[in-house]
């Protein structure tokens, strides 16, 4: 016998084989399995249509300073709640896909341009964004009448956390290159908006 | 030797204490096991969201002509220095996506393949010559080619894929190609790096000429 194998070696071998092994990937998250609150919480993070403009408005406000970030932190959820309340009043449900895309594109472009917008405009954009997405989400919430409030609460918490982190990080940016990176994120969001607009307006094959 | 220890330990645990593979066979054996590990096979092309992101991400990096031009933009930006080094990566994705939107909407633009091939030639030549035009002229040149590249991508985008995830993958891949070019272009601060950068510009231009020849001869690029 030329020597005993140490446990770390065997462990490394097992890890190597497991890393090489392919497993099936589930692309769709149906629900979290943790109840309506966490379904709502995760909704924002698995819905890029909602997440992208939220990232854009949070970074846009953050780049202007902490006061702007704090305003959007409350303006966006307030608009979202208002939209969720008035959304079910529209029958048939509103289809806002093109205005939603244009707003995402515009927010991305404003972030890329690093435009010095006044506080009232940024707050208004936050409320408008919340209102629009609240109305769109209301139709989904209406399908779960027993737990709609909890789902909404989960969405609000996710919004609050996301905006706090992103706006806070953007507000703390001091150096030029870091500010440029934030602006590049904006240009990417605007680019995605352009492509989405193309998809929406694409002539049927 | 670690491999020997592993092989003898395997033998011991399997109940064959004298079982001991030659060291040089251990790594190929592990590779063989991984090769034969069963993978999930999909007989039909799926339209799910992961496919949308992955196929969108793959699209800009699937054609060498696009890669050459995207990287050359980053190289040129790094050569030009501030403010071009940060203006180009901010502006380029938006203009390219605008071209993509036009392609998606079916707005025709003539000579797209020629423009794409010319973009690699022109941008590579600019890097080779270390051309320093005014910022607005550089922006117009880059923007013109960005529209052509975006339009070609937009026309080729498959119907039925998840639009938003495809777009996210597409834009991220394009941005990363620029970032690669800028990252390579940072060697410009050293004299030897400056020469290497100019040579890489020449290589891009030669690659562009190849695609230009293919485009002119009517072959699929």
B82: Cβ contacts below 8 Å, ≥ 6 apart: none
Encode pLDDT of A137-161 as tens digits. 877 666 665 567 888 888 999 999 9
**From first to last of its 205 residues, what are the pLDDT tens digits of chain A?**
444 556 667 777 777 776 666 555 544 444 556 778 888 888 888 888 889 999 999 999 999 999 999 999 999 999 999 998 887 777 656 566 788 889 999 999 999 998 889 999 999 999 999 999 888 887 766 666 556 788 888 899 999 999 999 999 999 987 888 888 899 999 999 999 998 888 888 766 5
The overall pTM is greater than 0.95: no
Task: Please give the structure tokens belonging to residue A77.
Answer: 């959820």
Pair of tokens at residue A75:
């303006």
Q: Do you know the residue count of chain A?
A: 205
- Whether residue A48 and residue B165 make contact (CB cut-off 8 A), yes or no, is yes
**How far is CA B125 from its chain centroid?**
20
Computed over every residue of chain B, the mean pLDDT equals 80
Instruction: Please determine, for the modelled complex, whether the ipTM score is greater than 0.85.
Output: no
Residues in chain A within 8 Å Cβ distance of B101: 194-195, 197-198, 201
pLDDT at B48 over 50: no
Question: For B34-59, what is the mean pLDDT?
Answer: 65
Residue B40 pLDDT: 59
End-to-end alpha carbon distance in chain A: 70
Please tell me which residue of chain B has the smallest CA distance to A106: B94
Nearest CB to A3 within list B5, B98, B163:
B5
Task: Please give the structure tokens belonging to residue A2.
Answer: 């030329």
The answer to whether A202 contacts B8, with C-beta atoms less than 8 Å apart, is no
Q: Between residues 120 and 159 of chain B, which touch chain A (CB distance below 8 Å)? A: 154, 157, 159
Domain ranges for chain B: 2-35, 49-216
CA distance A114 to A54: 16
**A194, B159: Cβ pair inside 8 Å?**
no
Lowest mean pLDDT among B54-58, B70-74, B215-219: B215-219
Alpha carbon distance A99, A107 (integer Å): 12
Better-scored residue on pLDDT, A11 or B118: B118
Average the pLDDT over B67-95 and give the result: 84
Report residue A141: phi and psi, to 5°. Answer: -65, -35
For chain A, say whether B49 makes contact (Cβ under 8 Å).
yes
Q: Which residues of A touch B1 (CB under 8 A)?
A: 2-3
d(CA B136, CA B139): 5
Residue A114, token pair as written in the block: 């690093």
Tokens at A93, concatenated: 């449900």
User: Is residue A59 within 8 Å of A186, Cβ to Cβ?
Assistant: yes
What kind and span of H or E run contains A39? helix A36-46
């Amino acid at each position: 016998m030329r020597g005993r194998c140490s446990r770390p070696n065997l462990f490394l071998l097992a890890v190597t084989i497991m890393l090489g092994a392919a497993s099936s990937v589930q692309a769709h998250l149906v629900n979290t399995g943790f109840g309506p609150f966490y379904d709502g919480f995760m909704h924002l993070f698995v819905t890029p249509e909602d997440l992208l403009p939220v990232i854009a408005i949070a970074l846009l406000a953050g780049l202007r300073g902490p006061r702007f970030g704090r305003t959007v932190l409350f303006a966006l959820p307030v608009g979202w709640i208002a939209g969720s309340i008035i959304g079910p009043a529209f029958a048939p449900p509103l289809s806002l896909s093109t205005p939603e895309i244009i707003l995402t594109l515009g927010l991305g472009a404003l972030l890329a341009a690093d435009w010095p917008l006044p506080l009232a405009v940024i707050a208004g954009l936050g409320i408008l964004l919340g209102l629009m997405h609240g109305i769109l989400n209301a139709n989904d919430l209406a399908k779960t009448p027993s737990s709609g409030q909890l789902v909404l609460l989960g969405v609000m918490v996710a919004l609050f956390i996301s905006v706090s982190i992103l706006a806070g990080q953007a507000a703390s940016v001091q150096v030029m290159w870091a500010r440029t990176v934030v602006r590049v994120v904006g240009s990417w969001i605007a680019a995605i908006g352009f492509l989405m607009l193309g998809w929406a307006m694409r002539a049927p094959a | 030797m670690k491999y020997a220890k592993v092989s003898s330990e395997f033998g011991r645990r399997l109940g064959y204490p004298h079982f001991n593979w030659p060291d040089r066979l251990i790594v190929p054996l592990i590779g063989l096991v991984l090769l034969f590990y069963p993978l999930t096979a999909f007989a039909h092309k799926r339209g799910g969201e992961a496919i949308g992101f992955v196929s969108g991400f793959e699209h800009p990096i699937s054609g060498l002509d696009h890669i050459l031009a995207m990287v050359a933009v980053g190289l040129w930006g790094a050569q030009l220095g501030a403010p071009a080094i940060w203006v180009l990566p901010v502006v380029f994705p938006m203009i390219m996506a605008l071209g993509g939107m036009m392609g998606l909407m079916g707005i025709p633009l003539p000579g797209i393949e020629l423009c794409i091939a010319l973009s690699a030639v022109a941008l590579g030549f600019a890097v080779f010559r270390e051309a320093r035009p005014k910022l607005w002229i550089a922006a117009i040149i880059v923007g013109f080619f960005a529209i052509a590249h975006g339009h070609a991508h937009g026309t080729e985008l498959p119907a039925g894929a998840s639009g938003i995830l495809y777009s996210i993958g597409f834009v991220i891949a394009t941005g990363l190609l620029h970032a690669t070019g800028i990252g390579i272009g940072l060697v410009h601060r050293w004299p030897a790096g400056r020469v290497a950068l100019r040579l890489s510009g020449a290589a891009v231009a030669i690659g562009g000429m190849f695609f230009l020849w293919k485009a002119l001869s009517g072959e699929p690029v």
